[in-house]
Amino acid sequence: MTAVLAPASRDIEQFDQYVMGTYARFPLVLERGRGTTVWSNEGKEYLDFVAGIATCTLGHAHPRMVQAVTEQIQKLHHVSNLYYLAPQGELARWLVENSCADKVFFCNSGAEANEAALKLSRKYAHSTLGIDEPVVLTAKASFHGRTIATITATGQPKYQKDFTPLLTGFDYIPYNDTEALVAAVTKYQGRLAAIMLEPLQGEGGVRPGDREYFQRVRELCDQHRALLILDEVQVGMGRSGKLWGYENLGIQPDIFTSAKGLGGGIPIGAMLCRQNCDIFAPGDHASTFGGNPFACAVALAVCHTLVEENLIANARERGQQLRAGLGAIAERFPQDIAEVRGWGLIQGLVLPEASAVQSRDVVKIAMERGLLLVPAGPKVVRFVPPLVVTAAEIDRAIAIVGDVFAELCR
Protein backbone atom coordinates (compact mmCIF):
# COMPACT_ATOMS: atom_id res chain seq x y z
CA MET A 1 0.00 0.00 0.00
CA THR A 2 1.33 3.47 -0.95
CA ALA A 3 1.85 5.74 2.07
CA VAL A 4 -0.35 8.82 2.17
CA LEU A 5 1.81 11.90 2.71
CA ALA A 6 0.73 14.80 4.90
CA PRO A 7 0.03 18.04 2.97
CA ALA A 8 3.35 19.61 3.96
CA SER A 9 5.38 16.53 3.03
CA ARG A 10 3.56 16.15 -0.29
CA ASP A 11 4.12 19.79 -1.26
CA ILE A 12 7.77 19.72 -0.19
CA GLU A 13 8.44 16.51 -2.12
CA GLN A 14 6.93 17.96 -5.31
CA PHE A 15 8.78 21.26 -4.80
CA ASP A 16 12.14 19.56 -4.35
CA GLN A 17 11.55 17.43 -7.43
CA TYR A 18 11.04 20.39 -9.76
CA VAL A 19 12.58 23.55 -8.23
CA MET A 20 16.32 24.21 -8.25
CA GLY A 21 17.89 24.06 -4.81
CA THR A 22 19.14 27.63 -4.58
CA TYR A 23 17.85 28.12 -1.02
CA ALA A 24 18.43 26.17 2.19
CA ARG A 25 14.72 26.12 2.95
CA PHE A 26 13.06 25.37 6.26
CA PRO A 27 10.52 22.49 6.06
CA LEU A 28 7.48 24.76 6.19
CA VAL A 29 4.84 25.39 3.51
CA LEU A 30 3.14 28.76 3.98
CA GLU A 31 -0.30 29.16 2.47
CA ARG A 32 -1.89 32.44 3.54
CA GLY A 33 -1.38 35.49 5.71
CA ARG A 34 -3.06 38.52 7.23
CA GLY A 35 -1.28 41.38 8.93
CA THR A 36 1.72 40.03 10.85
CA THR A 37 0.37 36.45 10.93
CA VAL A 38 0.85 33.64 8.40
CA TRP A 39 -0.54 30.11 8.32
CA SER A 40 0.95 26.89 6.99
CA ASN A 41 -0.88 24.49 4.70
CA GLU A 42 -1.45 22.37 7.79
CA GLY A 43 -3.21 25.22 9.57
CA LYS A 44 -0.47 26.19 12.06
CA GLU A 45 -0.25 29.89 12.88
CA TYR A 46 3.03 31.84 12.91
CA LEU A 47 4.02 35.35 13.90
CA ASP A 48 5.95 36.61 10.88
CA PHE A 49 9.06 38.57 11.87
CA VAL A 50 10.70 37.85 8.51
CA ALA A 51 8.21 39.73 6.30
CA GLY A 52 9.69 38.29 3.13
CA ILE A 53 13.12 39.42 4.43
CA ALA A 54 12.20 43.05 5.18
CA THR A 55 9.83 43.23 2.21
CA CYS A 56 6.19 43.01 3.33
CA THR A 57 5.99 46.57 4.62
CA LEU A 58 2.25 46.45 5.23
CA GLY A 59 2.19 42.80 6.26
CA HIS A 60 -0.06 40.36 4.43
CA ALA A 61 -3.37 41.04 2.66
CA HIS A 62 -3.44 44.71 3.64
CA PRO A 63 -6.70 46.27 2.35
CA ARG A 64 -4.89 49.13 0.59
CA MET A 65 -2.70 46.71 -1.35
CA VAL A 66 -5.67 44.47 -2.19
CA GLN A 67 -7.54 47.52 -3.49
CA ALA A 68 -4.58 48.76 -5.55
CA VAL A 69 -3.95 45.32 -7.05
CA THR A 70 -7.62 44.84 -7.92
CA GLU A 71 -8.15 48.27 -9.47
CA GLN A 72 -4.95 48.34 -11.53
CA ILE A 73 -5.18 44.78 -12.89
CA GLN A 74 -8.64 45.65 -14.22
CA LYS A 75 -7.25 48.66 -16.10
CA LEU A 76 -3.71 48.07 -17.38
CA HIS A 77 -1.01 45.86 -15.93
CA HIS A 78 1.74 46.08 -18.57
CA VAL A 79 2.42 47.65 -21.94
CA SER A 80 5.95 49.00 -22.43
CA ASN A 81 8.21 51.87 -21.50
CA LEU A 82 7.84 52.98 -25.11
CA TYR A 83 4.86 54.93 -23.76
CA TYR A 84 4.19 57.31 -20.89
CA LEU A 85 2.64 55.59 -17.88
CA ALA A 86 0.82 57.71 -15.32
CA PRO A 87 1.35 55.38 -12.29
CA GLN A 88 5.10 55.38 -12.96
CA GLY A 89 5.19 59.17 -13.10
CA GLU A 90 3.12 59.46 -9.92
CA LEU A 91 5.35 57.06 -8.01
CA ALA A 92 8.50 58.82 -9.23
CA ARG A 93 7.08 62.15 -8.10
CA TRP A 94 6.33 60.79 -4.60
CA LEU A 95 9.84 59.36 -4.27
CA VAL A 96 11.53 62.56 -5.44
CA GLU A 97 9.38 64.78 -3.24
CA ASN A 98 10.16 62.60 -0.23
CA SER A 99 13.93 62.21 -0.72
CA CYS A 100 17.05 64.04 -1.87
CA ALA A 101 16.71 62.58 -5.40
CA ASP A 102 15.81 64.39 -8.60
CA LYS A 103 15.15 61.48 -10.96
CA VAL A 104 14.16 57.80 -10.75
CA PHE A 105 14.81 54.70 -12.87
CA PHE A 106 12.50 51.74 -12.22
CA CYS A 107 13.33 48.04 -12.43
CA ASN A 108 12.20 44.85 -10.65
CA SER A 109 14.55 44.09 -7.76
CA GLY A 110 17.29 45.34 -5.48
CA ALA A 111 20.01 43.63 -7.50
CA GLU A 112 18.77 45.34 -10.67
CA ALA A 113 18.61 48.70 -8.91
CA ASN A 114 22.19 48.29 -7.71
CA GLU A 115 23.26 47.16 -11.19
CA ALA A 116 21.77 50.36 -12.59
CA ALA A 117 23.62 52.42 -9.98
CA LEU A 118 26.93 50.77 -10.89
CA LYS A 119 26.36 51.36 -14.61
CA LEU A 120 25.50 54.98 -13.95
CA SER A 121 28.66 55.44 -11.88
CA ARG A 122 30.79 54.03 -14.71
CA LYS A 123 29.23 56.33 -17.29
CA TYR A 124 29.75 59.25 -14.92
CA ALA A 125 33.41 58.29 -14.47
CA HIS A 126 34.00 58.10 -18.23
CA SER A 127 31.91 61.05 -19.43
CA THR A 128 32.21 63.48 -16.51
CA LEU A 129 35.51 62.67 -14.83
CA GLY A 130 37.41 61.38 -17.87
CA ILE A 131 38.51 58.17 -16.12
CA ASP A 132 39.43 55.25 -18.38
CA GLU A 133 39.55 52.53 -15.71
CA PRO A 134 37.16 53.58 -12.92
CA VAL A 135 37.12 51.97 -9.49
CA VAL A 136 34.16 51.58 -7.11
CA LEU A 137 34.90 51.04 -3.43
CA THR A 138 32.49 48.86 -1.46
CA ALA A 139 32.57 47.50 2.09
CA LYS A 140 33.68 44.15 3.38
CA ALA A 141 30.70 42.12 4.68
CA SER A 142 28.40 44.06 2.35
CA PHE A 143 25.64 42.56 0.23
CA HIS A 144 24.40 44.16 -2.99
CA GLY A 145 22.83 41.31 -4.98
CA ARG A 146 23.58 38.16 -6.96
CA THR A 147 24.18 39.31 -10.52
CA ILE A 148 27.80 39.17 -11.63
CA ALA A 149 28.26 42.90 -11.09
CA THR A 150 26.51 42.98 -7.73
CA ILE A 151 28.25 39.92 -6.30
CA THR A 152 31.49 41.56 -7.39
CA ALA A 153 30.38 44.63 -5.44
CA THR A 154 29.44 42.39 -2.51
CA GLY A 155 32.40 42.18 -0.13
CA GLN A 156 31.82 38.56 0.94
CA PRO A 157 33.90 35.85 -0.74
CA LYS A 158 31.32 33.15 0.10
CA TYR A 159 28.93 34.68 -2.45
CA GLN A 160 31.67 34.98 -5.10
CA LYS A 161 33.00 31.43 -4.86
CA ASP A 162 32.72 29.47 -8.13
CA PHE A 163 31.62 32.54 -10.12
CA THR A 164 35.00 33.90 -11.16
CA PRO A 165 36.24 35.71 -13.12
CA LEU A 166 34.50 38.63 -11.48
CA LEU A 167 34.41 42.13 -12.93
CA THR A 168 37.39 44.40 -12.58
CA GLY A 169 37.12 47.87 -11.09
CA PHE A 170 36.14 47.03 -7.50
CA ASP A 171 37.99 47.07 -4.19
CA TYR A 172 36.82 46.51 -0.62
CA ILE A 173 37.28 48.44 2.62
CA PRO A 174 36.32 47.60 6.22
CA TYR A 175 32.92 49.03 7.17
CA ASN A 176 32.96 52.01 9.57
CA ASP A 177 36.79 52.22 9.42
CA THR A 178 37.77 55.81 8.60
CA GLU A 179 41.51 55.16 8.45
CA ALA A 180 41.08 52.36 5.89
CA LEU A 181 38.64 54.54 3.93
CA VAL A 182 41.13 57.41 3.61
CA ALA A 183 43.90 55.01 2.60
CA ALA A 184 41.77 53.47 -0.16
CA VAL A 185 40.65 56.83 -1.52
CA THR A 186 44.30 57.94 -1.62
CA LYS A 187 45.30 54.70 -3.37
CA TYR A 188 42.73 55.19 -6.13
CA GLN A 189 43.05 58.95 -6.49
CA GLY A 190 42.36 59.79 -10.12
CA ARG A 191 40.44 56.53 -10.68
CA LEU A 192 37.73 56.68 -8.02
CA ALA A 193 34.27 56.68 -9.55
CA ALA A 194 32.12 55.96 -6.51
CA ILE A 195 31.88 54.61 -2.99
CA MET A 196 28.94 52.22 -2.54
CA LEU A 197 27.75 51.39 0.97
CA GLU A 198 24.72 50.21 2.91
CA PRO A 199 23.59 52.70 5.60
CA LEU A 200 23.14 49.57 7.75
CA GLN A 201 24.59 46.25 6.66
CA GLY A 202 21.72 43.77 6.62
CA GLU A 203 23.03 40.43 5.35
CA GLY A 204 26.40 41.37 6.83
CA GLY A 205 25.04 41.07 10.37
CA VAL A 206 22.70 44.03 11.02
CA ARG A 207 25.56 46.52 11.46
CA PRO A 208 24.46 50.19 11.59
CA GLY A 209 26.67 52.78 9.95
CA ASP A 210 28.57 55.24 12.15
CA ARG A 211 27.43 58.79 11.61
CA GLU A 212 30.96 60.26 11.72
CA TYR A 213 32.24 57.65 9.26
CA PHE A 214 29.55 58.35 6.70
CA GLN A 215 30.04 62.08 7.01
CA ARG A 216 33.73 61.52 6.20
CA VAL A 217 32.72 59.39 3.21
CA ARG A 218 30.55 62.26 1.97
CA GLU A 219 33.42 64.75 2.41
CA LEU A 220 35.85 62.55 0.48
CA CYS A 221 33.40 61.97 -2.35
CA ASP A 222 32.87 65.72 -2.65
CA GLN A 223 36.62 66.35 -2.56
CA HIS A 224 37.34 63.84 -5.33
CA ARG A 225 34.10 64.39 -7.32
CA ALA A 226 33.23 60.74 -6.78
CA LEU A 227 29.65 59.56 -6.35
CA LEU A 228 28.28 58.34 -3.04
CA ILE A 229 25.94 55.40 -3.68
CA LEU A 230 23.81 54.08 -0.82
CA ASP A 231 22.09 50.70 -1.03
CA GLU A 232 18.77 51.30 0.75
CA VAL A 233 17.20 48.05 -0.48
CA GLN A 234 16.77 46.58 3.01
CA VAL A 235 16.67 49.61 5.32
CA GLY A 236 14.70 52.05 3.19
CA MET A 237 10.95 52.69 3.11
CA GLY A 238 10.61 53.42 6.81
CA ARG A 239 12.18 50.30 8.27
CA SER A 240 14.94 52.20 10.07
CA GLY A 241 12.46 54.48 11.83
CA LYS A 242 13.02 57.13 9.17
CA LEU A 243 11.89 56.94 5.56
CA TRP A 244 15.46 56.47 4.31
CA GLY A 245 18.45 55.01 6.12
CA TYR A 246 20.66 57.93 5.13
CA GLU A 247 18.53 60.22 7.32
CA ASN A 248 20.02 58.44 10.35
CA LEU A 249 23.50 59.47 9.21
CA GLY A 250 23.09 63.19 8.53
CA ILE A 251 24.15 62.97 4.87
CA GLN A 252 22.65 62.82 1.39
CA PRO A 253 23.85 60.40 -1.30
CA ASP A 254 24.24 61.13 -5.01
CA ILE A 255 22.56 57.83 -5.85
CA PHE A 256 20.52 55.45 -3.75
CA THR A 257 18.58 52.30 -4.44
CA SER A 258 15.29 50.92 -3.19
CA ALA A 259 13.35 47.67 -3.63
CA LYS A 260 12.01 45.13 -1.08
CA GLY A 261 9.71 47.30 1.05
CA LEU A 262 8.93 49.71 -1.81
CA GLY A 263 6.35 47.34 -3.30
CA GLY A 264 5.34 45.71 -0.03
CA GLY A 265 5.94 42.29 -1.62
CA ILE A 266 5.10 43.11 -5.24
CA PRO A 267 8.38 43.04 -7.21
CA ILE A 268 9.74 46.51 -7.96
CA GLY A 269 13.10 48.24 -7.70
CA ALA A 270 14.24 51.82 -8.11
CA MET A 271 17.53 53.63 -8.66
CA LEU A 272 17.29 57.26 -7.64
CA CYS A 273 19.86 59.96 -8.39
CA ARG A 274 20.51 63.66 -7.98
CA GLN A 275 20.79 66.12 -10.84
CA ASN A 276 24.61 66.05 -10.89
CA CYS A 277 24.67 62.45 -12.16
CA ASP A 278 21.42 62.26 -14.14
CA ILE A 279 23.29 61.35 -17.32
CA PHE A 280 21.61 58.22 -18.68
CA ALA A 281 20.41 58.75 -22.26
CA PRO A 282 17.92 56.65 -24.29
CA GLY A 283 19.46 53.23 -24.86
CA ASP A 284 21.93 53.43 -21.95
CA HIS A 285 19.78 51.31 -19.68
CA ALA A 286 16.31 49.76 -19.70
CA SER A 287 13.97 47.20 -18.16
CA THR A 288 11.06 45.51 -19.90
CA PHE A 289 8.98 45.16 -16.77
CA GLY A 290 10.49 48.07 -14.84
CA GLY A 291 7.94 50.67 -13.80
CA ASN A 292 4.96 48.80 -15.21
CA PRO A 293 1.56 50.22 -14.17
CA PHE A 294 0.70 47.28 -11.92
CA ALA A 295 3.84 47.38 -9.76
CA CYS A 296 3.87 51.18 -9.60
CA ALA A 297 0.22 51.45 -8.55
CA VAL A 298 0.80 49.01 -5.69
CA ALA A 299 4.05 50.71 -4.63
CA LEU A 300 2.30 54.08 -4.62
CA ALA A 301 -0.38 52.62 -2.33
CA VAL A 302 2.39 51.40 0.00
CA CYS A 303 3.96 54.88 0.01
CA HIS A 304 0.69 56.63 0.83
CA THR A 305 -0.17 54.09 3.53
CA LEU A 306 3.20 54.62 5.21
CA VAL A 307 2.24 58.25 5.70
CA GLU A 308 -1.49 57.93 6.34
CA GLU A 309 -1.15 55.15 8.93
CA ASN A 310 1.90 56.76 10.57
CA LEU A 311 3.92 53.58 10.04
CA ILE A 312 7.36 55.19 10.11
CA ALA A 313 6.69 56.39 13.65
CA ASN A 314 5.34 52.92 14.46
CA ALA A 315 8.58 51.38 13.15
CA ARG A 316 10.54 53.69 15.41
CA GLU A 317 8.41 53.04 18.52
CA ARG A 318 7.99 49.31 18.02
CA GLY A 319 11.70 49.11 17.21
CA GLN A 320 12.55 50.68 20.55
CA GLN A 321 10.21 48.22 22.25
CA LEU A 322 11.77 45.27 20.43
CA ARG A 323 15.31 46.40 21.18
CA ALA A 324 14.49 46.87 24.87
CA GLY A 325 12.88 43.43 25.06
CA LEU A 326 15.79 41.72 23.35
CA GLY A 327 18.17 43.66 25.59
CA ALA A 328 16.39 42.27 28.65
CA ILE A 329 16.83 38.73 27.29
CA ALA A 330 20.52 39.47 26.70
CA GLU A 331 20.84 40.46 30.36
CA ARG A 332 19.27 37.13 31.37
CA PHE A 333 21.68 35.17 29.18
CA PRO A 334 24.91 37.22 29.13
CA GLN A 335 27.05 34.21 28.16
CA ASP A 336 24.85 33.39 25.20
CA ILE A 337 24.02 36.80 23.67
CA ALA A 338 26.79 39.26 22.82
CA GLU A 339 24.71 42.31 21.92
CA VAL A 340 21.58 43.71 20.30
CA ARG A 341 22.03 46.20 17.46
CA GLY A 342 20.03 47.85 14.71
CA TRP A 343 17.66 50.66 13.81
CA GLY A 344 13.87 50.69 14.03
CA LEU A 345 12.38 47.43 12.86
CA ILE A 346 15.62 45.86 11.69
CA GLN A 347 17.27 44.48 14.81
CA GLY A 348 19.98 41.87 15.20
CA LEU A 349 20.54 39.56 18.15
CA VAL A 350 24.26 38.78 18.07
CA LEU A 351 25.57 35.45 19.37
CA PRO A 352 29.12 35.17 20.77
CA GLU A 353 31.68 33.87 18.28
CA ALA A 354 32.82 31.28 20.82
CA SER A 355 29.32 29.91 21.30
CA ALA A 356 28.38 26.59 19.72
CA VAL A 357 24.91 27.99 19.04
CA GLN A 358 24.33 29.25 15.49
CA SER A 359 21.68 31.70 14.34
CA ARG A 360 19.93 28.95 12.41
CA ASP A 361 19.52 26.98 15.67
CA VAL A 362 17.66 29.91 17.21
CA VAL A 363 15.54 30.37 14.10
CA LYS A 364 14.60 26.67 14.01
CA ILE A 365 13.44 26.51 17.64
CA ALA A 366 11.58 29.83 17.32
CA MET A 367 9.76 28.46 14.27
CA GLU A 368 8.69 25.39 16.25
CA ARG A 369 7.22 27.80 18.83
CA GLY A 370 5.33 29.84 16.22
CA LEU A 371 7.74 32.73 15.48
CA LEU A 372 9.46 33.20 12.11
CA LEU A 373 12.92 34.80 12.20
CA VAL A 374 15.78 34.95 9.70
CA PRO A 375 19.57 34.61 10.09
CA ALA A 376 21.93 37.42 9.04
CA GLY A 377 25.03 35.27 8.93
CA PRO A 378 25.89 32.37 11.24
CA LYS A 379 25.96 34.46 14.43
CA VAL A 380 23.17 37.03 14.05
CA VAL A 381 19.42 36.49 14.30
CA ARG A 382 17.52 39.16 12.37
CA PHE A 383 14.13 40.62 13.37
CA VAL A 384 12.37 42.40 10.48
CA PRO A 385 8.59 42.31 11.07
CA PRO A 386 6.11 44.24 8.93
CA LEU A 387 5.85 47.93 9.81
CA VAL A 388 2.23 47.35 10.88
CA VAL A 389 3.35 45.17 13.82
CA THR A 390 1.61 45.97 17.11
CA ALA A 391 2.95 46.35 20.65
CA ALA A 392 1.19 43.14 21.65
CA GLU A 393 2.85 41.23 18.80
CA ILE A 394 6.26 42.57 19.80
CA ASP A 395 5.64 41.39 23.37
CA ARG A 396 4.59 37.97 22.11
CA ALA A 397 7.73 37.65 19.98
CA ILE A 398 9.97 38.69 22.88
CA ALA A 399 8.35 36.09 25.13
CA ILE A 400 8.98 33.36 22.54
CA VAL A 401 12.62 34.40 22.12
CA GLY A 402 13.06 34.28 25.88
CA ASP A 403 11.69 30.73 25.90
CA VAL A 404 13.99 29.77 23.04
CA PHE A 405 17.10 30.85 24.92
CA ALA A 406 15.86 29.19 28.09
CA GLU A 407 15.69 25.94 26.10
CA LEU A 408 19.02 26.44 24.35
CA CYS A 409 20.89 27.42 27.50
CA ARG A 410 19.50 25.01 30.06
Q: Which residues are catalytic?
A: 143, 231, 260
Contact 170, 135 (CB under 8 A): yes
Q: Is the distance from CB of 349 to CB of 355 less than 8 angstroms?
A: no
What are the backbone angles phi and psi of residue 280, rounded to the nearest 5°?
-65, 135
Q: Are the C-beta atoms of residues 69 and 265 closer than 8 Å to each other?
A: no
What is the distance between the alpha carbons of residues 223 and 238, in angstroms, rounded to a whole number? 31
Question: Cα(206)–Cα(351) distance, rounded to whole angstroms?
Answer: 12
